[in-house]
Amino acid sequence: MEKVKVMVVDDSKVSRAMIKGHLAKTNFEVCAEAKNAAEAVALYEENRPGIITMDMNLPDADGIECSRRIHAIDPDVKIVMISAMKDASLVATGREAGISAFLQKPISTNDLIDTMMVLCQNKVGKIAVLRESYAKAFVRALQQGIFSMIGVHSEVSLELDDRRFLDVSGIAVIIGLTGFPMGRAIVYMDVDTMNKFSAIMLNKDDPAGLEEDEASDTVEEAANIMVGRGVSNINDVFKDKEMRITPPGTIYGTNIRIASPKLTTFRITAETRIGKIYLNVGFAEGE
């Protein structure tokens, strides 16, 4: 999925920079910035952003008039008004002009992103939101984690996993996610990859030198670190919805199937020179 394009309409350069800052590291990308109503209409036609943030006070017209003009071009456009004052009459006239949400300055990152996510859900779908704002945090965590712990580069891919089962022969470290959204992350790999991973992490030349349980304990700890980092990446953005991780539960054996009924799951694959390392992350639906 592509990023959701956002246009920021505000006559203040500082306010525009602040909004841009709030949206950094998210799946919302500022594609256009307008400092007055005329520019906003022109840039809207040119860029067709999915969402617009609208200031109330503009030099050539107010935010409501500007919204009305853009709404006339596209009745489906999502406009969030960000203004210093917010009262009932502003909300009422704003709604008539096609504004979907109202935020009062100073805005928090959480409020802005939450509002935009809600507005976007109908447009881009819940799965896209989970993928962009949550699953991708684990993509970075997996790639950076593998590199920082064993110095190995990886090619990482992310896909929606609609299989009913995760098939594991080797090791799977299951870590629960609590808070919002709930779910679980599973880091898994085959025995050969587990042994090589652990040997490198523990500075042993040969995986044969690993003691009993040493390899699985090492992978368990590595998984814990990577999933923890993924959750931190999410908490960095959504500061009020603290996600937490439960201690790991680790399974090993051959031909194990793991089912996660009712979860929307994503499979992240890291291809490395020591084998494939997977991170499957699932989120409870309907949250």
Partner 1 sequence: MDAKLVNPFVDAFTSVMPQMGFQEPKRTKLYVREKNAVSRGVSVIVGFTKQIRGNVVYNMSVDTAKFIASTMMMGMPVNDFDTMAQSAISEMSNMLTANAATNLTGMGFEVDISTPSLTIGENFQVKISDTQYLTVEMDLGGQVVELDIAVDQQ
In the complex, which residues of this chain contact partner 1 (CB under 8 A)?
A: 164-165, 172, 174-179, 182-184, 186, 216, 220, 244-263, 282, 284
Q: Do the beta carbons of residue 183 and residue 286 sit within 8 Å?
A: no
Q: Do the beta carbons of residue 228 and residue 149 sit within 8 Å?
A: no
> Which of 144, 178 has the CB closer to partner 1?
178
Nearby residues of 278 by Cβ (< 8 Å), 6 or more positions away:
186, 187, 188, 189, 267, 268, 269, 270
96: left (phi over 0), alpha (psi -120 to 50) or beta: alpha
CB 238 to partner 1: min, Å: 16
Q: How many residues does the chain have?
A: 287
> Which of 205, 212 has the CB closer to partner 1?
212
> Which of 14, 259 has the CB closer to partner 1?
259
- Interstrand relation of 263-272 and 275-284 (parallel, antiparallel or unpaired): antiparallel
Alpha-helix runs per DSSP H in 202-255: 214-237
Q: How far apart are CA 12 and CA 85, in angstroms?
A: 16
CB 133 to partner 1: min, Å: 19
- In single-letter form, the type of residue at position 238 comes to F
CB 179 to partner 1: min, Å: 7
> Which of 37, 175 has the CB closer to partner 1?
175
CB 114 to partner 1: min, Å: 21
**Strand, coil or helix: 79:** strand
CB 38 to partner 1: min, Å: 51
> Which of 102, 238 has the CB closer to partner 1?
238
Query: Within its chain, how far is the Cα of 201 from the centroid?
Result: 29
